[in-house]
Chain A
Amino acid sequence: MNFVAPVINYSQVLPILIVLGTALLGVIVEAFVARDRRYQIQVPLSIAGLVVAFVWILKIHATTAITAESAVAIDGPALVLQGAIVILGIAGLLLIAERKLDSSGDAFVAQAAAIPGSEAERTATLAKLTQTEVFPLTLFAIAGMMLFPAANDLVTMFVALEVLSLPLYLMSGLARRRRLLSQEAALKYFLLGAFSSAFFLYGAAFLYGYSGSVGFRQIREAIQTNAGNDVFLLTGIALVSVGLLFKVSAVPFHSWTPDVYQGAPTPVTAFMAACTKIAAFGAFARLFYVGLSGARWDWRPMLTVIAIATMVLGALWALTQTDIKRMLAYSSVAHSGFILTGIVATNKAGLSGTLFYLVTYGFTTIGAFAIVTLVRNASGEATHISGYAGLGKRSPWIAMLLSLFLLALAGIPLTSGFVAKFAVFSAAYESGSTVLVIFGVLTSAIAAFFYIRLIVLMFFQDPEEDGPTVAAAPLMTTAAIALCATVTLVLGILPNSLVHVIDAASRFVF
């Protein structure tokens, strides 16, 4: 037996390797550096790693290639999404690293192993211990997210899915305040996540049984030549979709979303709400556009129904929420439906619309959650919506910024959300799914209602006597919010530059 060494073009996968390498350095820092100096090293190290990765992505922006023995596809969509994930990862890291907001430290528990309410927890908090392990964990998650939309076979996709999920399960359970809630969120996220990856894997088994390979190219060729057994193909598509729809929190697989978003520490919520969605939809698009494009008449009806259910139910449930984190969670469910509209379009406009939507949605979501971290009372963040009454009178700047993000989420003109929604709906219309467009526009109107209700609450009601106060925004949070607000506004007014970039990039490599 002769062994031919595998060919990996390291320049093309370098962004992922840089992030992974930085995460490893972070682990080494955890092992060898004195406790009180870790934070000073971890934050600049992580951000530097992400910046270098972004610069490299810009350098290889024109690449269209399949590398690493056809396990990874580096093409326009992959690079656009990787770039967005890295930038949003920097914003998320800034929020995670923030230590000026909570009087006793950052958003994470002083010592995760200490039992809530115990003496050990109290002494750990007093000793100002911190879990700086969150930085390497975040980087591992980012690396997984970068690989997920670039994965070109089902095994790489499965591994990337786990690489991005495991750190998130862990980090959801590390909140400093309301720890029982946070641990419970971690448990729910973990159990449902593992459940969904079992579905993904079983589906992958059937696609393998159908085509004889786990590579997308071979699956596509098998579909084109109608080589295998259709039963295996359909079972495989259905089960793999269940696994992925869990990750993008589409109805009826969304039940973890509000609980996890509410229970997890808000910086982690911000990070995963934005980046997981981008990565998962990127992988979704590659699997369905590259691997399963020949079977689109089988999966389009299924995804159409799910998109409609997701839009309608997400928007209706969001109406009834009284907690802002839960409201944003259900709004993210509704947005999954809007993004699915772009995927179902199965044309070039649909792909570029989806990519544009994902990028803009990421920035607005991180911005909105960043502002949630600022509105606080004595026991931490005040997430009940009533606490936002009169915010516009107390701190007009923060209220204006939150309104900007909410308007963008609602898709009001002059914000990035409008351009994005317009792009996916017009793509769906172009592909003939008029029903989807009608439902999309109607649910956008419902969704606009609850965003605008919050804005009205902020500006036209008097603040409560002992209501929450807005912390003077410290440096890192300010930087993250400023970045998100700028992108949201600029892409709303002058979307053309990004639209052109994404249009040019919207072609999968086969």
Chain B
Amino acid sequence: MSPNNYLVLSALLFSIGAIGVVLRRNAIVVFMCVELMLNAANLAFVTFARLLGNLDGQVVAFFTMVVAACEVVVGLAIIVTIFRSRRSASVDDANLLKY
């Protein structure tokens, strides 16, 4: 098997995540789709690290995990705040700004 298959898988997962972000209206699900995209990027980094024979890609994936964890904390805090004020986590219910 060619290791490129991992890259194809990561491209697939990334695209699925991007479709989800555009398609879904629930803020939590949208955010989960972003996490899927970050995971796909990590898979690409790890695969490239193996193809290239250096560990830099793995270190970057490591950084991504830390950054994603921080993002999750802030993002979920914002989502919970919104939910508490309007009892809905739908992106569409939050549309005071659209006109």
- Using CB atoms and an 8 Å cutoff, list the residues of chain A in contact with chain B: 112-113, 115-116, 154-155, 158-159, 162, 166, 169-170, 173, 179-181, 183-188, 190-191, 194-195, 197-199, 201-202, 204-206, 208-209, 212-214, 258-259, 262-263
CA–CA, A214 and B14, complex, Å: 20
- Are A202 and B44 touching (Cβ within 8 A)? yes
- A residues near B56, Cβ cutoff 8 Å: 208, 212-214
Given the contacts A159-B63, A198-B17, A208-B56, A186 and B78 also touching, CB distance less than 8 Å: yes
- B residues near A180, Cβ cutoff 8 Å: 85-86, 96
- Are B67 and A184 touching (Cβ within 8 A)? no
- B residues near A206, Cβ cutoff 8 Å: 44
Given the contacts A159-B63, A170-B74, A201-B38, A116 and B97 also touching, CB distance less than 8 Å: no
Number of A-B contacts (CB under 8 A): 123
CA–CA, A186 and B91, complex, Å: 12
- Are B94 and A184 touching (Cβ within 8 A)? yes
- A residues near B14, Cβ cutoff 8 Å: 198, 202
- A residues near B45, Cβ cutoff 8 Å: 205, 208
Given the contacts A183-B85, A209-B44, A173 and B78 also touching, CB distance less than 8 Å: yes
- Are B97 and A263 touching (Cβ within 8 A)? yes
CA–CA, A112 and B81, complex, Å: 8
- Are B17 and A205 touching (Cβ within 8 A)? no
Which residue of the partner chain B has the closest CB to A156?
A: B63
Given the contacts A188-B97, A209-B44, A166 and B70 also touching, CB distance less than 8 Å: yes
Within 32-85 of B, Cβ neighbours of A (below 8 Å) are at: 34, 37-38, 40-41, 44-45, 48, 51-52, 54, 56-57, 59-60, 63-64, 67, 70-71, 74-75, 77-79, 81-82, 84-85
Given the contacts A158-B63, A169-B74, A184-B97, A191 and B30 also touching, CB distance less than 8 Å: yes
Interface centre among B30, B64, B70 (most CB of A within 10 A): B64
- Using CB atoms and an 8 Å cutoff, list the residues of chain B in contact with chain A: 7, 10, 14, 17-18, 21, 27, 30-31, 34, 37-38, 40-41, 44-45, 48, 51-52, 54, 56-57, 59-60, 63-64, 67, 70-71, 74-75, 77-79, 81-82, 84-86, 91, 94-98
- Are B34 and A191 touching (Cβ within 8 A)? yes
CA–CA, A154 and B98, complex, Å: 35
- A residues near B54, Cβ cutoff 8 Å: 212-213
B78 CB to closest chain A CB, in angstroms?
A: 5
Per a CB cutoff under 8 Å, which of A183, A191, A209, A213 touches B81? Answer: A183
A452 CB to closest chain B CB, in angstroms?
A: 25
CA–CA, A191 and B30, complex, Å: 8
27 residue pairs A–B, Cβ–Cβ below 8 Å? A113-B81, A155-B60, A162-B71, A170-B78, A183-B81, A184-B82, A184-B96, A184-B97, A185-B97, A186-B78, A187-B82, A188-B97, A191-B30, A198-B14, A198-B38, A202-B44, A204-B41, A205-B45, A205-B48, A208-B45, A208-B48, A208-B52, A208-B57, A208-B60, A213-B56, A258-B97, A259-B97
- Are B41 and A187 touching (Cβ within 8 A)? no
- Are A214 and B60 touching (Cβ within 8 A)? yes
- Are A201 and B41 touching (Cβ within 8 A)? yes
CA–CA, A415 and B15, complex, Å: 46
A187 CB to closest chain B CB, in angstroms?
A: 5
- B residues near A194, Cβ cutoff 8 Å: 31, 34, 71, 75
- Are B60 and A212 touching (Cβ within 8 A)? no
Which residue of the partner chain A has the closest CB to B94?
A: A184
Q: Which 3 A-B pairs have the closest CB atoms?
A: A198-B37, A205-B44, A209-B48
CA–CA, A23 and B59, complex, Å: 27
- Are B71 and A181 touching (Cβ within 8 A)? no
CA–CA, A184 and B26, complex, Å: 13
CA–CA, A384 and B97, complex, Å: 14
Given the contacts A158-B67, A166-B71, A209 and B52 also touching, CB distance less than 8 Å: yes
- Are B51 and A209 touching (Cβ within 8 A)? yes
CA–CA, A113 and B21, complex, Å: 27
Per a CB cutoff under 8 Å, which of A158, A198, A205, A259 touches B34? Answer: A198
Per a CB cutoff under 8 Å, which of A188, A201, A258 touches B64? Answer: A201
- B residues near A179, Cβ cutoff 8 Å: 85
CA–CA, A155 and B62, complex, Å: 11
Which residue of the partner chain A has the closest CB to B86?
A: A180
- Are A191 and B44 touching (Cβ within 8 A)? no
- B residues near A204, Cβ cutoff 8 Å: 41, 60
CA–CA, A204 and B63, complex, Å: 13
- A residues near B34, Cβ cutoff 8 Å: 191, 194-195, 198
CA–CA, A198 and B96, complex, Å: 27
Interface centre among B31, B51, B74, B91 (most CB of A within 10 A): B74
B73 CB to closest chain A CB, in angstroms?
A: 9
- Are B57 and A190 touching (Cβ within 8 A)? no
- A residues near B82, Cβ cutoff 8 Å: 183-184, 186-187
- B residues near A205, Cβ cutoff 8 Å: 10, 41, 44-45, 48, 57, 60
CA–CA, A199 and B30, complex, Å: 15
- A residues near B85, Cβ cutoff 8 Å: 115-116, 179-180, 183
Which residue of the partner chain B has the closest CB to A206?
A: B44
